């Protein structure tokens, strides 16, 4: 039985990514697995799939909104969607990678806080200053984090992560890979549990 890390791909603008982020580490830990978090920019894949952002699609958008709220309520949460939606999540993803190499736990904590700001408070996390404000609340030093977010290293890192998702056929959020097996969607956490329990199906 493998104990390779699980890969968790998500977009900070994805409410289903928000919901999955609250559960994936605990689920993996039950099976002695780590989770590598990989924020990326879903919009780049959407240009290939030519699919519009979910909440903007006629019929599907109404359903998805209801479904997101229903799942939040199932988790005891009152979900909100930021007024400006969908939004660009480049700043949030850069902030994550600016922290991740030195301190994965800090990067994950920031991700949780950013997601909560967006989907529990309904506030924007699109702008760099909005991302930095959330980071400051967690004790990060604004100027140095801002410098890191804007460094060529961080920009290249995010670009490389996005390129890698395209090459690997990753296109949604959450998109979770367990031992090479891809699972797309918050509603697949049950499948992932079963896969981990049985080491396949």
Query: Given candidates 1, 50, 102, 105, which one binds a second copy under the rule CB under 8 A?
Result: 50
Tell me if 88 contacts a second copy by CB under 8 A: no
Binding piece for a second copy, criterion CB under 8 A, among 9-17, 32-40, 88-96, 184-192:
184-192
Does residue 66 belong to the site contacting a second copy (CB under 8 A)? yes
97, 147 Cβ separation under 8 angstroms: no
48 binding a second copy? (CB under 8 A):
yes
> By three-state DSSP, how is residue 141 classified?
coil
Strand, coil or helix: 31: coil
Residue 57 lies near a second copy (rule: CB under 8 A): yes
The reply on whether position 201 binds a second copy by CB under 8 A is yes
Residue 122 lies near a second copy (rule: CB under 8 A): no
| Nearest distance in Å: CB 111, a second copy | 24
Which pair of tokens denotes residue 14? 């994805």
Full strand arrangement of the beta sheet holding 6-10:
35-39, 6-10, 175-178, 181-184
Angle at 61 between CA 57 and CA 63, to 5 degrees: 140
Tell me which residue of 28, 4, 30 sits closest to 174, measured CA to CA.
28
In this chain, which of 101, 136, 169, 197 binds a second copy, going by CB under 8 A? 169
Q: Toward a second copy, which CB reaches closer, 26 or 105?
A: 26
CB-count exposure of residue 197 (10 Å: 0-12, 13-18, 19+): exposed
Binding positions for a second copy, rule: CB under 8 A: 45, 48-52, 57-60, 62-63, 66-67, 70, 73-74, 169-172, 181-182, 184-185, 187-188, 190-191, 201
């Amino acid at each position: 039985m493998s104990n390779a890390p699980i890969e968790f791909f998500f977009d900070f603008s994805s409410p289903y990514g928000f919901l999955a982020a609250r559960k994936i580490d605990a689920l993996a830990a039950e099976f002695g697995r780590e989770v590598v978090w990989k924020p990326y920019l879903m919009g780049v894949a959407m240009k290939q799939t030519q699919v519009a952002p979910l909440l903007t699609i006629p019929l599907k958008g109404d359903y998805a909104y209801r479904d997101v709220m229903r799942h939040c309520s199932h988790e005891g949460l009152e979900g909100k969607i930021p007024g400006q939606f969908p939004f660009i999540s480049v700043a949030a993803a850069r902030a994550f990678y600016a922290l991740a190499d030195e301190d994965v736990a800090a990067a994950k904590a920031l991700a949780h806080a950013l997601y909560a700001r967006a989907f529990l408070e309904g506030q924007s996390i699109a702008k760099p200053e909005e991302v930095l404000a959330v980071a400051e609340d967690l004790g990060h030093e604004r100027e140095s984090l801002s410098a890191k977010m804007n460094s060529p290293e961080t920009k290249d890192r995010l670009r490389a992560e996005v390129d890698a998702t395209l090459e690997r056929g990753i296109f949604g959020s959450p998109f979770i890979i367990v031992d090479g097996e891809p699972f797309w969607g918050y509603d697949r956490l049950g499948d992932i549990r079963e896969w981990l329990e049985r080491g396949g199906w």
